[in-house]
Amino acid sequence: MALKALIFDVDGTLSETEDVHRQAFNETFAEHGIDWYWSREDYAWLLRTTGGKERMKVWRDSLKQSVPSVETIAALHAEKTRRFADIVAEGGLSLRPGVRELIAEARTRGLRLAVATTTNRPNVDALCRCCWGVPAAEVFDVLAAGDEVSRKKPAPDVFLLALQRLKLSAEECVAFEDSRNGVISAVRAGLRVIATPSTYTQSEDVSEASAVLDALSSEILSAIV
């Protein structure tokens, strides 16, 4: 069946965003007098859990604490999202090698583009404004975000939502991911997956992907069409 669309994860796939997210979390904790600080090692462990609010709950529980509450975590996460956008607006991100070229070539070939991410829509907009100078809706035809589904990766929900909005079958699309949870999510949605492990996920088992590459490029399309 002919390829009609590409579906991208965001964090770690389009850009090495995770240290910026970690910075935004730590600054938010400090601002509110919360005695939490996530090192790179801490964050690598926390990334096994998808979703920022979910990571905060896992960290709280690992410390055997009862605070902050679920409501406070939600408020802290909203502030962290704003802080992430502020950092990115100052030029804190760049695309991973080959991403810009791949997306440009996909457009030239008439392919549709979608995002299926655990992060929320404001973070995707912040990244696109930084790297493309426009909001996400001007780069991608379809956006499916983690706050729009009841189950996050490795559940297939966000990829299924992207397929629904594209009005395409899984056989007509290819997904791009960097993590094990993301690869499993896409495979469970019936998608072929190309994995490009990121700084934080390079030691993860992504063997269920159709291909594992160091970086993306426009040449990929000739191999998968």
Residues marked active site are found at 9, 11
Tokens standing for 193? 């997956």
Position of tokens 């406070």?
A: 72
- Count of H helices and E strands in the chain? 9, 6
* Residues shown for the chain: 225
CB burial of 5-26 (b: ≥16 within 10 Å; e: otherwise) equals bbbbbbbbbbbbbbebbbbbbb
* In 110-161, beta strands by DSSP E: 112-116, 142-144
Residues 6+ apart with CB under 8 A from 25: 38, 52, 56, 80
d(CA 167, CA 61): 40
Hey, is 152 helix, strand or coil?
coil
H or E segment and range at residue 102? helix 99-108
Cα–Cα distances in angstroms (integers) from residue 61 to residues 90, 123, 124, in the given order: 34, 26, 28
